[in-house]
Amino acid sequence: MRVEILIAMALIGVVAGWVRPGRAAARDPESKVRPAQFAGSWYPGDGSDLAKEIDDLLAKASAASLPSKPVGIISPHAGYRFSAPVAASAYACLRGHNFKRVIVMAFSHRGSSQYQGVDVPQDLDAYSTPLGEVPIDRKACDLLRKSPIFVSNPGVDRGEHSLELQLPFLQRVLKDFALVPLYVGRMTTADYADAARAILPLLDGDTLLVTSTDFTHFGPRFGYVPFREDLPGKLRELAEQAAKPLLKCDFDGFVEHLEKTRDTICGRGPVSLMLRTLSMHEGATGIRTGFDTSGQLTGDWSNSVTYQSFVFTRREGTLGAAERDFLLKLARQTVTAHLKGQALPEVNAGELSEKLRAKGACFVTLKNHGDLRGCIGNMTAETPLFKAVIRNAVSACKDRRFVMNPVTAAELNQLDIEISYLTPMKLVNNTDEIVVGQHGLLISKGWNRGVLLPQVAYERGWTREEFLAHTCRKAGLPVNAWKEPDARIQSFTAEVFAEPE
């Protein structure tokens, strides 16, 4: 049966009331529950059958090897006949991990273009599927609603499947979790940063981001026919182009892909919000876990939808936890001794790890309740890393920018210390290589020179061009100086770690 026929039947079923409702668990009669609207059409309506299908898919899926606990996934949302195996390849990577809260970034195929911002339910208590009810994290939703970018549009999820089809997988893999359902509407670049800024306080180690999207919708039915020959190969090529910025968690790169290709990725809004959020959370690394097309599944390439799935983890550093803790304690001891006029700490280098004894470049940053009080470092590795931390910690206390209001010993209990361990500089030949959330920049032109650490850009939600402009301003140059042929742009990555709150 053709894809479009199945989709049409499912939509007719929703309107006519054919869709079998989910089995609701015992609940407070006053609670408001969003019933399952696609059970029995797009996925099994019987709880036992649904559980068996998902469990079988997860058992067949080969979970990718991950360096650390997942922080997010991207999963397709077509009828299970088409996209469930691709979705299962991502969800299989969640097995063995616990999450207490899941933020699902979805959208309305019919309503998202009608409002600005991100819809978050105001008075809904749960979502229902044939596997039971998923409670909504009301506290988290209320927190998000304090930001004006989050709005409430009752009924925006009516007849919408993008979020609902993710829930049965989450129910089988995670068992017990609270849901934050988000429907992304029209968004500007600044809106994505504002929304991400509101989401960030929710991103603890027990929270997972899930983004719901299918990829390229090809063919006359979708009004997108950029090529007519070698359709399987061209669709795969387009999928690779879309995947490239995702694997780097590159918000700017994904936006540029959309502008360049006009790729018909239905969940571009949720994907953009996820990338912006992760890029403002120290960045992440993605791996693709699944790929398929409806054309391959049905043999009909005249109209085809592409499905891809991805899993994201935090970018791995080179220093171990014990090494980070040692450097932070050393910086704290150094700052304390300097501000109190005492002798600086002595270190027995023979007791340190090879990484701490090796030459290293780093910055030490001091903040008082979030306000910068000093930030000094070295861009090139000239001394052992532990010695660089001692020297830069002292220098941060004497940052010239605060000569009229220097750090004092009275602030010690209010100071937070952060260390940025830098990789060697790399010449940037193409600014498209710069990823906000991963790279820091050094721009020089003539005698002018300016540097900004990665966290300066990702904490502010800057785009790549804004990052370049601000680095030029830091160097005392015009904001567009980075475009000049004699401007030298270098990038580096930083392993950023701070004292526990």
Nearest of 97, 90, 145, 101 to residue 120 by alpha carbon: 145
pLDDT at 367: 95
Quick one: fold of 426-498? Dna Ligase; domain 1 (3.30.1490)
From CA 52, how far away is CA 203, in angstroms rounded?
Answer: 32
pLDDT at 175: 81
How many residues are present in the chain? 501
Residues 6+ apart with CB under 8 A from 263: 215, 216, 238, 241, 242, 257
CATH number of 321-419: 3.30.700.20
Q: 3-class SS at 196?
A: helix
The ranges assigned to domains in the chain are 49-313, 321-419, 426-498
From CA 462, how far away is CA 193, in angstroms rounded?
Answer: 8
Same fold, 49-313 and 426-498: no
From CA 416, how far away is CA 253, in angstroms rounded?
Answer: 33
From CA 155, how far away is CA 457, in angstroms rounded?
Answer: 37
The widest CA-to-CA distance across the chain, in whole angstroms, is 80
pLDDT at 283: 83
pLDDT at 315: 85
- Domain range 49-313, CATH class: alpha beta
Whether the CB-CB separation of 165 and 42 falls below 8 Å is answered with yes
Residues 6+ apart with CB under 8 A from 248: 285, 286, 435, 438
The rounded radius of gyration (Å) of the Cα atoms in the chain is: 25
Return the number of other C-beta atoms located less than 10 Å from residue 487's C-beta: 18
Nearest of 427, 431, 452 to residue 440 by alpha carbon: 452
From CA 358, how far away is CA 464, in angstroms rounded?
Answer: 32
Return the number of other C-beta atoms located less than 10 Å from residue 343's C-beta: 7
Return the number of other C-beta atoms located less than 10 Å from residue 432's C-beta: 13
From CA 149, how far away is CA 152, in angstroms rounded?
Answer: 10
CA–centroid distance for 234 within its chain: 28
Q: What is the pTM of this model?
A: 0.86
Whether the CB-CB separation of 327 and 386 falls below 8 Å is answered with yes
pLDDT at 316: 81
pLDDT means over runs of 10, the chain (501 residues): 40 33 45 92 96 96 88 97 97 95 96 92 94 97 96 91 97 94 96 96 95 98 95 97 97 97 98 96 92 96 97 90 95 97 95 95 94 93 95 96 94 95 93 94 95 92 96 96 96 90 64
